[in-house]
């Protein structure tokens, strides 16, 4: 106990107060976030809203949502045509995922540090990081310059981004393998491809399938957007026409229901596949 009558907490004596040192990187991040927050507030304040008030805008938005989701029905095409367009979108997602998985599986082997040269791995991972940094929409628009807007540019652009995503996922799965198994096979004289097909693929097949199906789900959502942005067809193009050309909120709501239904079915299928893989 101190002379002034206050007691010292246990284990408090002798401890130094740790002051967090100045970190330039965190300071720049905090300064950037503060600047963005100030610009956002300024933008909301200075924006010309005309005669629209906040309450009036919210009321109109709720009214639009009410029309979309309570009065949804088809106007410009039938139920069978909608199912066909959704199947086109799923086919677009499946095609790009298949192409991306095949290419990424090959390059992922050379990107894994435990299977390849460090320099080769660094080059592939650097290129993959650049590919992933560019959004899929931009890749589609870049390839549209050469191939024109349509399904071809969408497939190439989506495949390009899928390759970048899956190479990272596959290579990290390969790098998590037990080094002892690989060293044992190398010591017994096994070639690179023998190691790949006898040890690497069988040991990581569950992870590969899981990552591939996850990318398929992502590509389904991207294919919907590309149908509108790049004219790739499918249910996304119908959604664009209903919202931007016909401006029929009832048809927009019905198409949204279709997309959500198929997205939920894909998620249930993914859960089923993952549970079957874990049970093995």
Tokens encoding 57:
């805008």
CATH topology of domain 71-279: MetI-like fold (1.10.3720)
135-173 per-residue burial string, b: 16 or more CB within 10 A, e: under 16: ebbebbeebbeeeebebebbbbbbbbbbbbbbbbbbbeb
Closest-CA residue to 104 (of 221, 215, 218, 224): 215
The predicted-structure confidence for 62-111, as pLDDT tens digits, reads as follows 888 888 888 877 777 778 888 888 888 888 899 999 999 999 999 998 89
Helix or strand (DSSP H, E) at 209: helix 201-229
Q: Which residues of 237-270 are buried (b: 16+ CB within 10 A; e: fewer)?
A: bbbbbbbeeeebbbbbbbbbebbeebeeebeeeb
> Do the beta carbons of residue 238 and residue 82 sit within 8 Å?
yes
What is the per-residue pLDDT across 173-201, written as a single tens digit (0 to 9) for each?
A: 888 887 777 888 788 877 888 888 888 88
Residue 246 vs residue 258, higher pLDDT: 258
Per-residue model confidence (pLDDT) at position 251: 86
Where exactly are the structural domains of the chain?
25-68, 71-279
Query: Could you tell me the pTM of the whole model?
Result: 0.74
Is there a contact between 161 and 128 (Cβ–Cβ < 8 Å)? no
How much of the chain exceeds pLDDT 70, in percent?
A: 89
Higher pLDDT, 222 or 48: 222
* Residues 262, 90 contacting (CB under 8 angstroms): yes
């Amino acid at each position: 106990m101190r002379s002034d009558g206050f007691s010292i907490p246990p284990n408090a004596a002798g401890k130094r107060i740790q002051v967090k040192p100045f970190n330039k990187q965190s300071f720049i991040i905090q300064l950037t976030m503060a600047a963005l927050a100030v610009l956002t507030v300024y933008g909301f304040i200075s924006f010309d809203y005309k005669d629209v008030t906040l309450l009036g805008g919210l009321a109109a938005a709720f009214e639009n949502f009410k029309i979309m989701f309570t009065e949804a029905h088809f106007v410009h095409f039938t139920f069978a045509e909608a199912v066909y367009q959704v199947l086109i979108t799923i086919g677009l997602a499946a095609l790009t995922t298949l192409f991306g998985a095949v290419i990424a599986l090959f390059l992922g082997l050379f990107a894994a540090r435990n299977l390849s040269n460090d320099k080769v791995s660094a080059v592939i991972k650097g290129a993959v990081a650049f590919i992933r940094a560019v959004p899929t929409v931009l890749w589609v628009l870049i390839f549209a310059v050469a191939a024109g807007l349509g399904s071809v540019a969408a497939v190439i652009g989506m495949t390009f981004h899928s390759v970048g995503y899956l190479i990272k996922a596959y290579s990290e799965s390969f790098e998590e393998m037990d080094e002892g198994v690989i060293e044992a096979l190398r010591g017994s004289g096994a070639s690179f491809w023998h190691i790949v097909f006898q040890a690497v693929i069988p040991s990581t097949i569950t992870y590969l399938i899981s990552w591939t199906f996850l990318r398929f789900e992502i590509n389904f959502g991207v294919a919907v957007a590309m149908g509108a942005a790049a004219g790739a067809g499918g249910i996304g193009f119908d959604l664009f026409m209903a919202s931007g050309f016909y401006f029929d909120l009832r048809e927009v709501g019905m198409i949204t229901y279709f997309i959500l239904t198929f997205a939920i079915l894909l998620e249930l299928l993914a859960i089923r596949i993952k549970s079957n893989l874990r049970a093995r």
